[in-house]
Structure formats: structure tokens, C-alpha cells
Amino acid sequence: MNLLQAMISPQLEQMLSAKGVEKATWEALLQPSRESSQGDLTLPCFPFASILKMAPQAIADEFAESFPLGDALLSVSSVNGYLNFKANPEWLADAILSNKIAVGSALVNTGSTGEKVLIEHTSANPNGPFHVGRARNAILGDTLVRLHRLHGDDVRAEYYVDDMGKQVGVLAWALEHLSEEEVNELLAEREPPSERWLDKADHQRVRWYQAAQILRKDADDEKKERIEREIGKLVHASEHGDVGVLQAFESAYTPVLEGMLATLARLGISYDTFTKESTFVVDGTVAQLMQRLDALEIAGTAENGAGYLDLGQRGLKGKTEFFYRRGDGSSLYATRDVAYHMWKWGESNRLVNVLGEDHKLQAKQVGLTLEELEQQRPEVLFYSFIKLPEGKMSTRQGNVVFMDDLLEEAHAQASAVVRELRPEYDDEKVAAIAEAVGTAAVRFNIIKVSPEKGFIFRWEEALAFEAGSAPFIMYAHTRACSIAKRARSHSASNIDCPSAESMPDGLVDLLRLMCTHNDVLARSVKEQKAHLFALHMLELANAYNGFYRDCPVVRDGQVDGFAFAISEMARRLMRSGLEGLGITPIEEM
RNA sequence: GGGCGUGUAGCACAGCUGGAUAAUGCGUCGGCCUCCUAAGCCGAAGAUCGCGGGUUCGAAUCCUGCCACGCCCGCCA
């Protein structure tokens, strides 16, 4: 609790330095109490024992005895060598009601922190619809974008469009050379495409891509060779910046990308800018970059003229050669990525990338190369893949759960719940609630676990609507909304803060939690850990439910001005926090 | 073989810049709707923190060895 920490630190410093304990030795030790029953901040006194030649318990006793309480503290106690500081809830209430807790907005760039952040996420190859595995990137990335905005950073969400190279080349080749009948025949053994997505280009065109992949693997040798030659020619042309080929690629993938973006839009995910990979080839910066790399001390040349950096000299273990130019002189994906990052550094002063764990080595190579060019490396958030109980998801092989299908299913199940619980709602209202709840549940299920944890997708977990899920937080928010609606139609008493002794637990817990809200957000953004904030939002909702239980706002036609003011502040924090997680804060459900 | 990551109650997951009785959800068992939305609230049971060493006043957290799982080790993207 930074609010409290700022209050007691000067006093602590004075008392400890008088005893000869430097600030550096205790500052990091003062931390939030583990158990809320213990207090709000705790200082373990064990490390001081050897300096002061006293038992930890005795040190804690002495400080507890002499520490001045002032307005902010309710108590300072000594337990087993720990010094526990408990905030006075009256002081916390005052801090909350005098706007010391920032509510913020996840939807607009206020730039109040002065920090400019460019977050690149998703950047999926535009060759087919999003499956749940690929969507983890977008959900993680978009949540980071929103949390940074909520925190007050000036954020730009960027999608790097892979508009050249093999994947798009295969798609373009297939659309050019394969008829619908051929595609259907090649995919005859696969599950037929869903009727639902007949008019969605990502679902349609991916079949051409899949059919081509089958041909590349299973056709007779002569045909295989011919296909590889044709695709290779396209890829080669694209990598040399052939404008005609790049345009053909673009018309092949654009409808697919649009379909993918439509899926993401349903999840509330959008981008500020799209940058095409080919940009840096066409404008010559990649060629310039390769010349600069050639001149580096650690650069080397292979027999066929290919260029590489020996990153082993910079500490890279394992395979130390990083190739940035092929024997034919063309660039590689990673080379273009270096050029892209150099450009990005010109656009922003903090770079964050969201990448799958399979990109770890590549990101390291790009990072080391950037440093070699006297640039900084970006911050990277890696995530593990989402697997199906049957194994890994793969667009190529077709064993996937499509995001579009998951969202439909989520909507349907949420809809069934609303109809059962609120039979009085009309169809339109049910649909709106079901959409908000369904998409929120899907997002939250992914965001609440830490990214490096690989997890297995299970329908029943993705569609959980109970405690521990998005609807739990949404529900607490609707409670606050309905209280507000009711309170506004009654007369209210003055805002008089009750005495600390008369406050029920539910109120105290909520006050304390609200006072950590900004701390958690700051840490979440600093460390790029969205799940910390997600879990905090669950706690906030839980605390609001406790407040709801213990503190009636409207009683006997009279509004308790203080309780209402606290409820309103909690409602605003829940609202902006929900938006920060990409959840629509609906007012009824 | 090498590099990186993960391993915490039946299941899932937090904590991992060392600090008190390892937090939470699902599931299980028991209680609460004449009272601001019960998608809720209250309570109970359930954990050799993968295994073995080490450092420390103190280890789920740091070091080390081993085991299991995942990802990577292309002049692919």
C-alpha cells in the first residue's frame, strides 16, 4: 500500500537511522502484509538483530511501543519479530473520498505518466481464422494495451502484417492455381467447414492454404517439385520487393486479415496501426541494414555468400550463427524484424512485443543484433501455447478450436443462463448481456493465468460463469449500478465517515483493497503481468460483495451518504478495471 | 545432446526481487433468498510446494544434481 508507505517511511527512517540502520537495508523489507488480519504493511526485524545486537522480537516490541500513530495508522503491533502497521480505515476512507485513488480510463490515451509505449501484438500470418491458441497473443496484448492506458501511458497498439514470405506465398499460389473442386477433393477427409462461416473469408480461404499444404507434402514428386518451384519464385520475388507480386499477395490475404480482425473486434480488440513487413524491403532500409551488418566485427560470410553474425561472441549459447542474408542476397524474416525494430524505436520510447514461446531464440538473436547496432532491445512477453486435450493446435492440420466457434458457444451458453435467471428480460437485452458475458468469460479465462504457463483448453473452463470468472466481477459491478440507480431516487444523508470501531469488516476490507488498486495496476504494467490485475479485480469484486452484505446503502427509504460515496467509488474502479481487462461493464445482468 | 520454460490440495491456478499459519476458484460436505440482483454470501474438510543435496536466523522462493512435461536449436516464417 504505497499510500501508507509514503506516510510512515519518514518516521521509520528517522527511528532506524538513529539506531544506525541505513535506509537501503530496510526499505525493501517493508512490504504488504501477507495476511490482511496482520495489517497493511509489515517490517520483518530479523535482519536488524545482528546490527543492533538485540533479539528481533525485542526490536519489534520497542518500535511498536514508540511508533507515533498519527492520522494514518490504527495500530502498530509486534508479533514474532515482525512489525505490523495497520492503516486507520477512517484515513483510508478519506483518501478514497478525496480522489487520491486514480480511476483512469482504459479507452483513451491520457498520457498522464509521460510514458510512450508501442505494443506490438498478434501479428499473426494472415492465412486463416484465429484459433484459440493464436488468440492468446491478441488477448494478452490487447489487455496490456488497455492496462497501460488505464495506468496513464500513451499507448499505440501495432499489428505487424506478415505480407511476404512463404506462408502468404502458399496462400496466393493456391488461390491462383486451385479450383474449388480440387480444394474440396483434397480436404474430403477433413471435417467439413462450418455452415456458420460460409461468408467469412478467413474460414473459406484457409481451405486453399490447407489444400496446398497437402499437395506440397503428398503429391507425386514431379508435381511437388513444380509447386515448390512456383511458390519459391513468388517468395523470392516478394523478398526482393517485387511490387507486382506483393500486390498479388495483398489481394490474397486482405480478405483473410479482415475476417481475422472481425473476430478480434468481437472480443473488443483493435489496433492503432498496421505495418507491413514488405515496407522495409521496398524502401531499401533492409538492404542498408544488411550492409551495416556486413561491416560489424562479428559478421561472417558463408561459402555461398550468405551473411551471418557470430552471436556466440556476445554470449549466445547453442547455435551461435545468426543468418541475416541468404546466399542469393535476399533478407530473412529476422533481418526484416531488426529493421522493423529500428523503425519502431523512432516511433516510441518503450517497446513491448507479445510473442509465442517458439520465438524465444529468434527474439534473442534480434535483441543481440540490435545491441550490436547500438540500439536497445525491446521488452518481450512470451506465452506458452494453448493445447487441446488431443494435442497441439495447428491450422495446417486442421485440429483446432476456432475463436469464432468458441465465441458463438459462449454466447449461446450465456444466453441460456440469462434466460433462466431473468425470464423477464426481452430478447434484445438477453442478446446484449450474453454477448458481453460470453466474450468476457473467454478473455478472462485466458488472462487470469500467467502467460508462461502452458494450458490445455477445456470447454467447461472457458465457459465458466461462477466465482473466479469474469461474470463474477461483472455481477458485482451491476450490483453497484443498481444500488446507484436506487440511491439516486432517495434523499441522502451527509457524507459522515463512521468511526473505525463501528465499521463492519466488509467495509474495512473494501477500503483497504481500493487503496491497493493503483499499486497493483502499476506493478502489473511495469512487469507486464496482466494476470496480477485480473486477480486483483476478482478480489475487488469479492470485497464489494462483502460491503454489500455488511453496509446497506439504502435503508428505510434513506440513503447513507457515506456508504453511497464509497459504493460509487468502488463502482467506478470496477468499471474502469473491467474495461482494462477488455470486459464490457454492463449495468444489468 | 545443448538452450529456455514449467512442475504447488482430486482438478485448475496465485505466491517465486528469501520472511509469520502456502492464497484463490472448481469439485466435495454443511448453512443462508418476507432484507439494495442468490451469476451471490457464510462455514468445513482437503498440500511430503516434482525428488535429493546446499546456502541462510529463516527456503515454495536462491544455488546445485536428478526426474517428468513443453518450446526451440532452418541460408523457414
pLDDT digits (tens, 9 = 90+) for A210-253: 999 999 988 888 999 999 999 999 999 998 889 999 999 999 99
Give the list of residues 6+ apart from residue A504 with CB closer than 8 angstroms, or none.
A550, A551
A153 phi/psi in degrees, rounded to 5: -80, 155
Residue A553 CB in 7 A reach of strand B: yes
Return the C-alpha cell found at A432.
446484449
Closest CA to A177 of A215, A222, A125: A215
C-alpha cell at A368: 543481440
Q: Does A582 contact strand B, using a CB cutoff of 7 Å? A: no
> How far apart, in whole angstroms, are the C-alpha atoms of residue A15 and residue A25?
14
Domain layout of chain A by residue ranges: 2-87, 116-392, 403-580
The one-letter amino acid code at A208 reads W
Strand B contacted by A321 CB (< 7 A): yes
How far apart (Å, rounded) are the C-alpha atoms in residues A567 and A561?
10
Smallest CA-to-CA distance from A263 within A443, A140, A135, A383 is with A135
Q: A337: which 3 cell numbers? A: 524484424
CATH fold, domain A403-580, is Isoleucyl-tRNA Synthetase; Domain 1 (1.10.730)
Instruction: Give the distance, in angstroms, between residue A298 CA and nucleotide B77 C1'.
Output: 25
Least confident of A34-43, A179-188, A575-584: A34-43
Distances in Å between the alpha carbon of A547 and those of A314, A515, A540, A551?
56, 15, 10, 5
CA A258, CA A272: separation in Å to the nearest integer? 15
Give per-residue pLDDT as tens, A274-302.
Answer: 999 999 999 999 999 999 999 999 999 99
- The angle subtended at Cα A240 by Cα A234 and Cα A244, nearest 5°, is 55
CB contact set of A195 (below 8 Å; sequence gap of 6+): none
CATH fourth-level superfamily of A2-87: Arginyl tRNA synthetase N-terminal domain (3.30.1360.70)
CATH class entry, domain A116-392: alpha beta
CB neighbour burial string for A145-161, b if at least 16 within 10 angstroms, e if fewer: bbbbbbbbbbbbbbbbb
CB atoms within 10 A of CB A229: 9
Residues 209-248/A with CB < 7 A to strand B: 235, 239
Q: Is the pLDDT of residue A390 over 80?
A: no
In this complex, the answer to whether residue A102 has its CB under 7 A from any atom of chain B, a nucleic strand, is no
* Confidence grade of residue A389 (pLDDT, cut at 50, 70, 90): confident
Average pLDDT on A471-496 reads: 94
